[in-house]
Amino acid sequence: AINNVLALSESQKRKGVTTISAGNHAIATAYAASCFGISAKVVMLSSANPDRIKKAKEFGAEILIAEDGAAGFEMTEYISATEGRTFIHPFEGYNVTVATATCGLELHEFVKNLDVVIVPVGGGGLCSGVSSITKLMNPSCKVYAVEPEGAQIMTKSLAAGKAQSINKVNTIADSLAPPMTTPYCFEMCQKSIDEIVLVTDDEMAAAATILFSELKLALEPAGAASTAGALGPLKDKIKDKRVGVIICGTNTDPNSYKELIDRGIKSLKNGVF
């Protein structure tokens, strides 16, 4: 979000920005806009966590609510067309990929000679940057993307060989559940992902429980996706390898987090891994 705001002209800054998000990007855009004194009109989903809506408002954004992702993107298009606001896409474009690549850059600078990097994926904003910089810095390093089983938009797109849309998603990892992929970030993911795997909601809940128990990290479901992949479908492939795991997503609240951990404890007892 900050990288996109930094790229705005003075005229664009005066007109303000708009975006759509289930929560994380909404907060980021609201914060970025507030840093530069820019007006932000943010569309969030009716399913969005109330705590995320509250946080975006605290950074000064005007919040509108859409029924779902498709309706939300239509709303931002209308706002941009009628008010002249610049649309800051939640996961598409050069500015997004360059910004998220810094996450991968730091990982490879701090941890040398990785054999594998595991990164969560939805629309591909984070994954495009991390996977691309990984292949630039360490071409032999494998990049495994992890996607929710109930939101297989990147899996569908990779199978089709081009960006796709999806009618329905059903996952607890709402920040990894966009209604579509988009050309630029999809192409970057297509070029640099070695394999994509799917994880269930129970696996993400169980991984989140382990991450709190072992590392004291309190995550939203999407934040545990990569770890779920490492403990589940990728377990045999990464055995005896030097592995970097990208953990992204801590925007949760006490009630939602309790539900997640309760589910995780039950899933672990049932032998999910």
**pLDDT tens track for 111-155:** 999 999 999 999 999 999 999 999 999 999 999 999 999 999 999
What is the domain extent for residue 235? 94-268
CATH number at residue 233: 3.40.50.1100
Asked whether residue 181 is domain-assigned, the answer is: yes
**Are the CB atoms for 66 and 43 separated by under 8 Å?**
yes
Indicate whether 176 pLDDT > 90: yes
Asked whether residue 216 is domain-assigned, the answer is: yes
**Are the CB atoms for 55 and 251 separated by under 8 Å?**
yes
Asked whether residue 232 is domain-assigned, the answer is: yes
Asked whether residue 204 is domain-assigned, the answer is: yes
Indicate whether 49 pLDDT > 90: no
DSSP 8-state secondary structure symbol assigned to residue 238: T
Which of 87, 122, 148 is at the close of a domain? 87
Share of the chain above pLDDT 70, in %: 100
- pTM of the complete model: 0.94
Q: Give the pLDDT confidence of 69-118 residue by residue, as tens digits.
A: 889 999 999 999 999 999 999 999 999 999 999 999 999 999 999 999 99
Asked whether residue 273 is domain-assigned, the answer is: no
Asked whether residue 176 is domain-assigned, the answer is: yes
Domain count, the chain: 2
Measured over the CA atoms of residue 34, residue 36, residue 41 and residue 47, the dihedral's sign is negative
Q: Are residues 189 and 262 in the same domain?
A: yes
How far apart, in Å, are the Cα atoms of 149 and each of 80, 155, 171, 231, 244? 33, 10, 7, 15, 22
Which of 87, 116, 135 is at the close of a domain? 87
Q: Are residues 213 and 105 in the same domain?
A: yes
